[in-house]
Chain A
């Protein structure tokens, strides 16, 4: 699914938006609370997924996907709600590595960031020669990991990513507010500071 289609699917002015992942079983929460050890990803898959997420949201003066532990979110989601997408990863990851070896002589996780980006750009374009899986195109696989990474970065930490509120700190989102009394009119126009749920001002 490309982003234009993503937007099209999310175009309803309510909330139901595109759902590849629509098996509602709130098991990720339990899994994420229980462990940060891999549940479904192998050690190598974990390392490779983490390397992709590191390019999707790179670390700069602020934390990125690695610090937020996005790969842990993805692992827990693939074990439960997003189990339908596990085959996409199982086929996409080796195909991406074959592409990396073919172009640059090493597996994706071993490449320099610039070269990793080149691989990802090629995959995103959907126009990549030598992409082997028939069941998932390179751009579908890329878009799956891309959106998973952003969700892992920005979903509530209880889902296993957004470690130490890293993602919310980067964007300046103070956290959910319904149970904290909302905002005052003065806060809505910047005349009163807003304290985030981790205790600092945002």
Chain B
């Protein structure tokens, strides 16, 4: 028993950050205990792609999730489920949409590229693209990215291509490409961590349609659930503990993290596990929430928080989406979440009235299944008198003919956008819930307005009969309440006064505490974040393994 409890590392969370760390540390011979909130689901649990159960009621992935949200300190607080996360082994990656991008080099140095911006806390990353490049490559090959590495003239430079060829198109992506080409853009297959052919011992995708937001029943989707964790388990050095909800990182008299206290969700008992190093990998809401709950005499404001920045600079991206109706089927209910993209409009250009930008992709979030089509895609449809009745029924009948496009816009960090511990609301376990305080920077709103117009132009050029904006955040009264791209709340940097973590994602204050998830991002980039979380996790793991073997930790 004593031997069993002798852990080199305790990793909290098994998603993109935690899963890769667990794999890399166990492969290097370290003994790891992993705590994961929620169950260990299996592929068979993902066969059921019932839209009501999974997408609307969220009965599978996070049934007991509770958070609060407010626009600012003077606004009322709402309770609910705002962030799209999965509480199960493999974390949110289990139901991710698998868009897999490398950030462009300028996305690591936003402050020096743009200069200071009023109301925003821009920063450069302490690392640059060159440092991360080999780790991007490792992530792409471990997770089986499918794509065409030469097809995006605006992408980051790379030494090696993707391991798998692009996925086939669906009609909607062909129409998107046609429209984009007419406008002089350069469409290309969206790189995704989904097998386009058997790879890594996992099968190729069957294009069942229910992809983003769903677990993959055959393991074609690249996830830590399907790849990193099984590999780590085979080493015999991983003690994987599902249904283990961490609520405090305990600190010893020496100021080092001693271990982690957690609730065994099957018995309700409080437990504690000790380890020489603690890695918090619970996403950019869960991680700061855990650190801020970990108050003690030596750390009255929460753990690792001498900068006061734990929980601050929450970024969610600025999504803007439009739907198109064509004269025939687009087949958005088939395939994966996204088949094509353009990056022509990504580069920052202040003459547009805002800085930064993002990637645009054809995608099927609101059009792949009929309830999302009716309730989300249809909510702003201008062609019906109202969102019910005879004319709206005509809209319902356009389901097959509807396609959607989306921009993933880089939102600016603001210190006032934050995660903290709600003083009033408690969850089913009696724990105070995470509270988000978040509003958009004026730059984000200008960006959303500008991209809305570009999206509609692509629909026009692609021959859409009708086109409309389904998602935009152009007014302060329509705020984003949470998201699925969570970043920024424990930013890394070289200065302990202005960052929570050093360049190795190690706490400036607590030497054996590390954070490896989206929290570490100083800025959000105009791409989906997960490949960068993966790459950074490989980088941190490499450092940890090297230093630990030298005895330097």
Q: A173-B333, A190-B329 are in contact. Are A168 and B171 (CB under 8 A)?
A: no
**Which A residues are CB-close (under 8 A) to B92?**
14
Residues A58 and B207 in contact, CB atoms below 8 Å apart: no
| B183 CB within 8 Å of chain A | no
Inter-subunit contact B393/A64 (CB<8 Å): yes
Collect the chain A residues with CB atoms within 8 Å of residue B214's CB: 15, 178
Among listed B1-9, B78-86, B157-165, B348-356, interface-contacting one = B78-86
For residue A145, which residue of chain B has the nearest CB?
A: B388
A150 to chain B, nearest CB (A): 4
Contacts of B50 in A (CB 8 A): 155-156, 176
Contact of B81 (CB < 8 Å), options: A16, A117, A154, A174: A16
Known A8-B480, A173-B333; contact A15-B370, beta-carbon cutoff 8 A? no
CB contacts under 8 Å to B, within A148-194, are 149-151, 153-156, 159, 167-168, 170-174, 176-185, 187-190
Selecting from A21-29, A41-49, A86-94, the interface stretch reads A21-29
B384 within 8 A of A: no
Shortest CB-to-CB span from B193 to chain A, Å, is: 15
Q: Is B483 located at the chain interface by the 8 A CB criterion? A: yes
- Proximity bits, B479-492, A CB within 8 Å = 1, else 0: 11111110000000
A14 touches B213 (CB 8 A): yes
Report whether B56 and A189 are in contact in the complex, using a CB–CB cutoff of 8 Å: no
- Looking at B15-23, B374-382, B516-524, the stretch in contact with chain A turns out to be B374-382
| Chain B residues within an 8 Å CB radius of A56 | 388-389
- Say whether B224 faces chain A, with CB atoms less than 8 Å apart: no
CB distance from B283 to the nearest CB of A (A): 12
Contact A12 B483 (CB under 8 A): yes
Q: Which residue of A lies closest to B339 (CB)?
A: A188
A10 touches B376 (CB 8 A): yes
Partner of A178, one of B46, B62, B482: B46
> What chain B residues lie within 8 Å of A64 (beta carbons)?
393
Chain A residue nearest to B366 in the complex (CB): A10
Known A154-B374, A156-B50, A177-B209; contact A16-B393, beta-carbon cutoff 8 A: no
Nearest CB of chain A from residue B337's CB, rounded to whole Å: 9
B331 touches A19 (CB 8 A): no
Report if A11-B481 is in contact (Cβ < 8 Å); known contacts: A121-B386, A171-B373, A183-B334.
Answer: yes
Which of these binds chain A: B231-239, B303-311, B395-403? B395-403
Chain B contact residues (Cβ within 8 angstroms of A): what range? 35 or more
Please give me the residue from chain B that is nearest to A154 by CB atom: B370
Q: Are B58 and A188 neighbours in the complex by a CB distance under 8 Å?
A: no
- Is A3 part of the binding interface, using a Cβ–Cβ cutoff of 8 Å? yes
B215-251 Cβ-contact flags toward A at 8 Å (1 or 0) = 0010000000000000000000000000000000000
Interface size on A, residues (CB 8 A): 64
Q: B57 touching A11 by the CB < 8 A rule?
A: no
A6 within 8 Å of B (CB atoms): yes
Interface residues in B112-140 by Cβ distance below 8 A to A read: none
> Which of B52, B406, B471, B481 counts the most A-chain CB atoms under 10 A from its CB?
B52
The answer, yes or no, to whether A9 is at the interface (CB within 8 Å) is yes
Instruction: Tell whether A155 pairs with B52 under 8 Å between CB atoms, given A185-B168, A190-B328.
Output: yes
Q: Is the CB of B406 within 8 A of A13?
A: yes
Q: Are B217 and A171 in contact (CB under 8 A)?
A: no
* Contact status B387-A146, CB under 8 Å: yes
Interface residue B431 (Cβ < 8 Å from any Cβ of A): no
Is the pair A17, B56 in contact by a Cβ cutoff of 8 Å?
Answer: yes
Residues of B with C-beta under 8 A to A117: 389
Q: A7-B380, A13-B485 are in contact. Are A167 and B329 (CB under 8 A)?
A: no
Whether A60 sits at the interface, judged by CB under 8 Å, is yes
Residue B289, interface by CB 8 Å? no
A195 CB, nearest partner CB in chain B, Å:
13
Which residue in chain B gives the minimum CB-CB distance to A3?
A: B379
Known A-B contacts A14-B84, A171-B399; A6 and B375 likewise in contact (beta carbons under 8 Å): yes
Write the chain A residue with the least CB distance to B478.
A8
Beyond A176-B49, A183-B207, whether A13 also contacts B171 by CB under 8 A is no
B90 at interface (Cβ–Cβ under 8 A)?
A: no
Distance in angstroms between the alpha carbons of A123 and B205 in the assembled complex: 47
CA–CA, A188 to B214, complex, Å?
Answer: 19
A172-B406 in contact given A10-B376, A15-B95 (Cβ < 8 Å): no
Looking at the complex, which one of B46, B62, B373, B388 makes contact with A16 (CB distance below 8 Å)? B62
> Known contacts A60-B390, A154-B370: does B399 contact A172 (CB below 8 Å)?
yes
* Chain B, residue nearest A10 (CB): B376
**A188 and B389 contact, CB distance less than 8 A:** no
Cβ of B370 and Cβ of A183 under 8 Å apart? no
Chain A residues 98 to 123 lying within 8 A of chain B, measured CB to CB, are: 117, 120-121
Asked if A81 is at the interface of the complex by the 8 Å CB criterion, the answer is yes
Which residues B43-62 have CB closer than 8 A to chain A? 46-59, 61-62
Contact A12:B83 (CB < 8 A) given known A60-B393, A190-B171, A190-B328: yes
Residues of B contacting A4 with CB < 8 Å?
379, 478
Cβ 8 A contact of A14, one of B334, B370, B484: B484
Answer whether residue B365 sits at the interface, using C-beta atoms and an 8 A cutoff. yes
> If A13-B483, A121-B386 touch, does A171 touch B396 (CB 8 Å cutoff)?
yes
Please state if B54 and A26 are interface contacts (CB–CB under 8 Å): no
Bound CA–CA A59/B50 (angstroms) = 25
Contact B376 A7 (CB under 8 A): yes
Pairwise interchain contact B334-A8, C-beta atoms closer than 8 A: no
Complex: how many Å from CA A78 to CA B136?
49
Q: How far is the CB of B86 from chain A (nearest CB, A)?
A: 8
Q: How far is the CB of A144 from chain B (nearest CB, A)?
A: 12
Bound-state CA distance A60–B53 (Å) is 29
Query: Contact flags (1/0) for B80-100 with A, using CB distance below 8 Å?
Result: 111111000000100111000
B481 touches A21 (CB 8 A): no
Contact A189 B95 (CB under 8 A): no
A62 an interface residue at 8 Å Cβ cutoff? yes
Given contacts A57-B388, A155-B371, contact A188 B85 (CB under 8 A): no
Whole-angstrom CA separation of A113 from B80 in the bound complex: 37
Please tell me if the beta carbons of B389 and A58 are within 8 angstroms of each other in the complex: yes
Q: Are B170 and A15 in contact (CB under 8 A)?
A: no
Additional pairs, 5, CB under 8 Å, beyond known A4-B478, A149-B388, A182-B208: A13-B84, A18-B80, A146-B387, A173-B399, A190-B171
22 contacts between A and B (CB under 8 A): A3-B379, A11-B319, A14-B84, A15-B61, A15-B95, A16-B84, A16-B85, A154-B374, A156-B52, A171-B370, A171-B373, A171-B396, A171-B400, A176-B210, A178-B210, A179-B217, A183-B331, A185-B168, A188-B168, A189-B168, A189-B174, A189-B331
| The 10 residue pairs across chains A and B that have the minimum distance between CB atoms | A14-B84, A182-B206, A15-B213, A14-B484, A182-B208, A185-B168, A171-B399, A188-B170, A177-B208, A183-B334
| A interface, CB within 8 angstroms of B | 3-4, 6-19, 21-22, 24, 26, 55-58, 60, 62, 64, 81, 117, 120-121, 124, 146-147, 149-151, 153-156, 159, 167-168, 170-174, 176-185, 187-190, 202
